[in-house]
Amino acid sequence: MNNIFLLLILLFCVTQNVFSSDRPATEVRAVWLTTNYGLDWPRSRTSQEEQKKELISILDDLKKNNFNTVIFQARTRGEVFYHSRIEPMSSLVQTALGTPQFDPLAFVIDECHKRGLECHAWIVTYPLGNDKHVKSLGASSVTKKNPSLAKKFKGEWFLDPGNPRTDDYLLSIVEEIVTQYDVDGIHFDYIRYPDNRGQFPDDGMYRLYGKGKSRADWRRDNITRFVKKVYDKVKQQKPWVQVSSSPLGRYRTLGNIGHGWTAFETVYQDAGKWMKSGIHDAIYPMMYYKDQLFYPYVDDWLSLGNGRIVVPGLGAYQMIELGWSSQDIINQLNYSRQKNTSGQAFFRTDNLLSNTKGILHDLQACYLHPAKLPAMSWLSDTIPAKPYDLRAEKLPDGLFQLNWEVKNSEERVTYNVYRSASDDLTTEDAENIVAVGLREPALKILVPDDDSAFYYYITVSDSYHNESEVSVPAFFYHSKTVK
């Protein structure tokens, strides 16, 4: 009875106002952009030009609605959406007569960066698909090239986490992506065993490598072993690339809540250990549940966060699958803000951009201003030098332009633009943010032709999202009238 009473109080507080939470200036606002079966992209099967237009439209909408992170599904089940020497390109990617097949990952990274969005490469880790699917991949399938790495379980093929050579195979894919592409993150999905019923066919590997451990502990250690290897590999190559994953939304059973489907007990994902051991930069748990299966688990993930990035994954698709309302999603967003999580991620992109049950309209009020990304200070806490020589002018075409200079301009940095009616700027006030994530030291925007006047400021953020001090401001009247 006491638990029910506390839950009712919690829900009452959360739902008092759809937009009651303060709007943070620093917050992850991410979407999973699903390419498997073309669920979010590509819808078109006619030409690569149409597929590019689709992606541009999606990214334009995300930018317009102040999202800042795209988790792009670069590897599905044994096939990829980039030019790979290791695995075949998905048959969904179209070719143009006389031209090479375009590279979706390269394209989406470039287009994200043009819009101030980060792009993380989403990798489906162990599942490979059913017989029909792996057969369609022909000799290029890992089930043909490296059959000892794959196991069939309940009609589906999987890479075997218990085989140390599986680590090497997956590491080669990660290395290929990180070295060849300017990704901002590597994000793992299905980095787990299929279930806990003990039937996964790994008896031989367990006899070889179990070394007296229980089967459950051995399986958890297998996945953790790979996570550590991949974290170390990525940091050797590009230490600013964020390493993250999307474990099950419930890490472990909490008291008498959550039995039957948890990361730790059911599918051997010890994601809490990954965070506490420092072999993850961020966690995006798939928290596609409501009420007592959501709120206590947000608190639990935060307790495991180790000062790193914790982003609840919100199940926008459940508005269709389970009949949730948009209010259910907004309640969860507000709770995540009240608990000071690092932001929110949404599955899937199309469920948002198609405005299912008005969700995009509701999010526009929550995401009224752009937001910066949280600093990965455990990787680097060096503060970059602030920009200088900020100039502001009205162009003949009516656009307002800012230009500035920066030291070490060859470094991989982004820029944030602020404005304030006074010369007392607070960078953590979201209302002061004009733009984030700019890749060039310039900005052109439309401003109203009125008597308003603002101080404009610029900061530099490095690849770890450490932000500089603000520049000396430029004061500018929006009116055409000379002041």
For each of the domains in the chain, give its residue range(s) and CATH number, in order of start: 18-366 (3.20.20.80), 388-477 (2.60.40.10)
Cα-based distances in Å from 430 to 22, 23, 100, 418, 481 = 9, 7, 44, 9, 29
What mean pLDDT is predicted for residues 378-402?
93
How many other CB atoms are there within 10 angstroms of residue 80's CB atom? 25
Residue showing tokens 């509701």: 362
Tell me: pLDDT of 4 over 70. Answer: no
Tell me: pLDDT of 197 over 70. Answer: no
Cα-based distances in Å from 453 to 390, 441, 449 = 16, 22, 10
Tell me: pLDDT of 109 over 50. Answer: yes
Locate 89 and state its tokens.
């390109």
Please list the alpha-helical segments (H only) found in 156-240: 164-180, 203-209, 215-237
State the Cα–Cα distance between residues 23 and 101, nearest whole angstrom. Answer: 42
Q: Is the Cα torsion angle 375, 377, 380, 383 positive or negative in sign?
A: positive
Is beta strand 442-445 parallel, antiparallel or unpaired with respect to 400-405? Answer: antiparallel
Per-residue pLDDT band for 483 (boundaries 50, 70, 90) equals very low
**Would you state the pLDDT for residue 405?**
96
Strand, coil or helix: 197: coil
State the Cα–Cα distance between residues 302 and 471, nearest whole angstrom. Answer: 34
Residue showing tokens 């982004």: 414
Instruction: Read off the pLDDT of residues 201-238 as tens digits, 9 standing for 90 and up.
Output: 999 999 999 999 999 999 999 999 999 999 999 999 99
**Would you state the pLDDT for residue 13?**
42
Lowest mean pLDDT among 49-63, 367-381, 396-410: 396-410
**Would you state the pLDDT for residue 480?**
62
**b/e code 362-392 from CB counts within 10 Å (16+ = b):** bbeebbeebbbbbbbeebeeeebebbeebeb
- Which residues in 277-396 belong to E strands, given as ranges? 282-283, 309-310, 313-314, 343-346, 388-394
- 460, β-bridge pairs: 415
Cβ atoms of residues 35 and 122 within 8 Å: no
User: Which among 92-96, 445-449, 452-456 has the top mean pLDDT?
Assistant: 452-456
Q: Is the Cα torsion angle 76, 82, 83, 86 positive or negative in sign?
A: negative
Locate 196 and state its tokens.
């806990």
Is beta strand 282-283 parallel, antiparallel or unpaired with respect to 309-310? Answer: parallel
Tell me: pLDDT of 477 over 90. Answer: no
Mean pLDDT of the residues in the chain: 93
State the Cα–Cα distance between residues 152 and 86, nearest whole angstrom. Answer: 21
User: Which residues contact residue 319 at a Cβ distance below 8 angstroms, ignoring those fewer than 6 apart?
Assistant: 325, 326, 328, 329, 351, 356, 357, 359
What mean pLDDT is predicted for residues 324-353?
98
Tell me: pLDDT of 17 over 50. Answer: no
Instruction: Read off the pLDDT of residues 226-284 as tens digits, 9 standing for 90 and up.
Output: 999 999 999 999 999 999 999 999 999 998 887 788 999 999 999 999 999 999 999 99
Per-residue pLDDT band for 15 (boundaries 50, 70, 90) equals very low
Lowest mean pLDDT among 6-20, 33-47, 160-174: 6-20
Q: Percent of the chain having pLDDT more than 90? A: 85
Give the total residue count for the chain: 483
**Would you state the pLDDT for residue 447?**
85
Tell me: pLDDT of 382 over 90. Answer: yes
Q: Percent of the chain having pLDDT more than 70? A: 93
Output the CA torsion 10→14→20→23 (10° steps). Answer: 100
Instruction: Read off the pLDDT of residues 163-189 as tens digits, 9 standing for 90 and up.
Output: 999 999 999 999 999 999 999 999 999
Cβ atoms of residues 307 and 295 within 8 Å: no
**Would you state the pLDDT for residue 1?**
35
Tell me: pLDDT of 12 over 80. Answer: no
Listed residue (94, 78, 95, 81) closest to 139, CA to CA: 78
Which helix (H) or strand (E) element contains residue 401? Answer: strand 400-405
Tell me: pLDDT of 362 over 60. Answer: yes
Strand, coil or helix: 434: strand
- Which residues in 263-387 belong to E strands, given as ranges? 282-283, 309-310, 313-314, 343-346
Cβ atoms of residues 71 and 32 within 8 Å: yes
State the Cα–Cα distance between residues 224 and 167, nearest whole angstrom. Answer: 11
State the Cα–Cα distance between residues 361 and 319, nearest whole angstrom. Answer: 15
Per-residue pLDDT band for 20 (boundaries 50, 70, 90) equals very low
More confident residue, 467 or 476: 467
Tell me: pLDDT of 22 over 90. Answer: no
Name the CA radius of gyration of the chain, rounded.
24
